[in-house]
Structure 1
């Protein structure tokens, strides 16, 4: 297996079970994973960490994931963002404008791994 050199992936989702599933599997692949359950927590992580990729829920708790991604894109234009969504089979046009990838829920671990490998090349 090719090691990703401990690149950091942020799982930004309000569902703790989904964050745990992603964290465990991505750590097994050699990634360093940080969890964020709110936009404020995500902002704090980005201020303190060098991040290779954000996996962001379209419906991020009280926050609109598309708006969060739009704000992040303005501050970190080269940081890839992939959306999770369990309510939309496809991304809206607004979401596609700010997304580098999409992982529909439920997803396979293979889909998660392929998306992360493609976007977190660093």
Structure 2
């Protein structure tokens, strides 16, 4: 989802030079591109750092991926939307396993009893 946020943001705010020609994509979707890209970055950070919010972030990323297609340069030329859909589906399917610290505490409590 972080990669999709970067891919959606890049075409709207990137300019480069090719053999003395300045290339800059300037579209009407600047604000929506910024908003969708920033929200996808936040969804990716939420899944990464707070696994409890993975369902909310996954659903939000999938909705943002579909909304980005008509509003943000075809969803980052379809690459950003595809990455967001895959990232959202993976975050919905992912279930964090038990933490190693929790198992050690449970064993210690069981041994002491």
**With structure 1 as the length reference, what TM-score do the two structures score?**
0.23
Tell me which protein shows more strand as a share of its residues. Answer: 1
Higher helix share: 2
What's the TM-score once normalised by structure 2's chain length? 0.24
Highest relative contact order (Cα 8 Å, sep 6+), 1 or 2?
2
